[in-house]
Amino acid sequence: MAPATVRYARVGGLPCALAGATMGTTWSARLVLPVGVAESVARRAIQSALDDVVAQMSHWEEGTAITRYNRAEVGWQALPARMLDVLDCGLAVARLTGGAYDPTIGALVSAWGFGPRQRAYEPPGAAAIDAARARCGWARVRRDGSHAWQDGGVLLDFSSIAKGYGVDCGARALLALGVGDFLLEVGGELRAQGLRPDGLPWRVAIEWPDGGGHADHVVLDRQAIATSGDYRRYFQHDGKRHSHTLDPRSGRPIDNGTASVTVLHDSCMHADAWATALTVLGAEAGLRMANAQGLAALFVVRGEHGLEPRASRAFIASRAAQYAGPHESAPATP
């Protein structure tokens, strides 16, 4: 990605900043409004797009499409188109990673106390983990047209992909209004298009886990970024950190030394899912997978001498950290 060398003013547009709440977190947007598009219209467009994702895919809410699927009896269940898009992406990543990523992990998430019903204080027993694993398995979910098979007791959980998809939906809503310059963020997942109001590119900082600055910077244009990590949501028990990122293959939190993984992608949905999948795989297997799939990924690993960054070939090739000057950066966080 070549850096822009000419700074120019945005003609006929009004810079503005918007914010709101969604998916148990917040969203924010910085954009240039075209002539004739009111700030309130842009805000409603983003919020409406995100509300639609919540109405379909939040397992924290009653009456959503995903909640109805999770409570359904064995059989084919009709699902809305957007939810099918997310499910298909999750199943594809699960297939490619051999189950290191699994959109049917809901029972395990609840067993570890990271679900909507309780907080995590201590690890579940082996029997509880085994019982939860018996209800998981991406291969149990078959697809046919507008339907998905409920195999009995399968609990879909889109927590590792829905925010990214929400970013994509919000971005499409802005583009439909003719907004061509924006940075949209939902819970730390971002997508950018065009340029900042001052004509500079959107430059995003990748957070260094556990605080202490930034691991890198990237410039985004028609591209998304998502980060997964073990340092934002976890609990301590008997001196050990238990991350909310679970390995579906073992039924336990990751323990592979990976502090965070950041993925750049044309789709924030894919970036979100792959960031989680690569975190579960760990630096060695994850880097092999990222290189095989052509994914731009930055791993931050807990090594003997502290945190160490490791980048995939595509990340090294695409990053635009060479931009100089006092560019304001937005943090990319899990």
316 closest CA partner among 264, 259, 260: 264
Q: Report d(CA 137, CA 240) in Å as an integer.
A: 27
Residue 5 neighbours by CB under 8 Å, 6+ apart: none
Cα gap 108→248, rounded to integer Å: 8
Instruction: Report the distance separating Cα 286 and Cα 283, nearest Å.
Output: 5
Q: Where are the beta strands (DSSP E) in the chain?
A: 14-22, 25-33, 75-78, 143-144, 147-150, 182-186, 189-193, 202-207, 214-220, 223-229, 234-237, 240-243, 246-247, 252-253, 258-265, 296-303, 306-311, 329-332
The angle subtended at Cα 115 by Cα 109 and Cα 117, nearest 5°, is 135
d(CA 39, CA 131): 50
Does residue 329 have a known ligand-binding role? no
Q: What is the DSSP string of 288-308?
A: HHHHHHT-EEEEEEEETTEEE
Q: Is there a binding annotation on residue 255?
A: no
- Count CA atoms within 13 Å of residue 75 on its CB side: 6
Identify whether the C-beta of residue 108 lies closer than 8 Å to the C-beta of residue 159. no
Annotated binding-site positions: 160, 272, 276
Annotated binding-site positions for Mg(2+): 160, 272, 276
